[in-house]
Structure 1
Amino acid sequence: MNVLIMSDSHGLTDELEEITARHKDEVAAVIHCGDSELQADDPGIRSMWIVGGNCDFDGGLPNELVKEAGPYRFLIAHGHLHSVKSTLNHLKYRAQEEDASIVCFGHTHIAGSEIDGNILFINPGSIRLPRVRPERSYAIISLEGKQADVLFYDFSGNPIKALEKTYTFA
Structure 2
Amino acid sequence: MKRIGIISDTHGYLEDIDLVLAATAHEDIDMWLHAGDVGDDARYMQEHTDVPVYAVRGNNDRMQPLEPREQLIPIEDTYIYMTHGHEVSYYNRIQELIHIGRAMEARLVVAGHSHHHGEYRQGDTLFVNPGSIALPRDKSGGTFAIVTYDEGNFFVEFVYKQDIL
Match of 1:121 in 2: 127
| TM norm structure 2 | 0.84
Does the CA-based 8 Å contact 1:3-1:31 persist in structure 2?
yes
Aligned residues: 156
5+ residue gaps, structure 1: 159-170
Q: CA deviation at 1:146?
A: 2.9
Match of 1:37 in 2: 39
Distance 2:111 2:79 in 1: 14
Write the letter of the residue equivalent to 2:108: I
Match of 1:60 among 66, 78, 86: 66
Q: Confirm or deny that 1:154 pairs with 2:160.
A: yes
Match of 1:167 in 2: none
Q: CA deviation at 1:16?
A: 1.1
Q: Which moved more, 1:19-28 or 1:29-38?
A: 19-28
The CA deviation string for residues 70-124 of structure 1, in whole angstroms up to 9 with x for no partner, is 22310011000122x3222321221122110000110011111011132110000
Percent sequence identity is 27
Helix, strand or coil: the match of 1:149?
strand
Q: CA deviation at 1:45?
A: 4.1
Match of 2:106 in 1: 100
Distance 1:32 1:10 in 2: 11
Write the letter of the residue equivalent to 1:144: D
Match of 2:115 in 1: 109
Distance 2:44 2:133 in 1: 19
| TM norm structure 1 | 0.82
Helix, strand or coil: the match of 1:52?
coil
Helix, strand or coil: the match of 2:66?
coil
Does the CA-based 8 Å contact 2:10-2:41 persist in structure 1?
no
Helix, strand or coil: the match of 1:44?
helix
Match of 1:136 in 2: 142
5+ residue gaps, structure 2: none
Distance 1:43 1:36 in 2: 10
Task: Point out which structure has higher relative CO (alpha carbons under 8 A, 6+ apart).
Answer: 2
The CA deviation string for residues 40-82 of structure 1, in whole angstroms up to 9 with x for no partner, is 7x33346411001001013521000010122231001100012
Question: CA, structure 1 residues 135+72, in 2 after alignment: closer, same or farther (shift >3 Å)?
Answer: farther
Distance 1:11 1:77 in 2: 19
Structure whose residues are more often helix by fraction: 2
Match of 2:54 in 1: 49
Helix, strand or coil: the match of 2:106?
coil
Does the CA-based 8 Å contact 2:11-2:41 persist in structure 1?
no
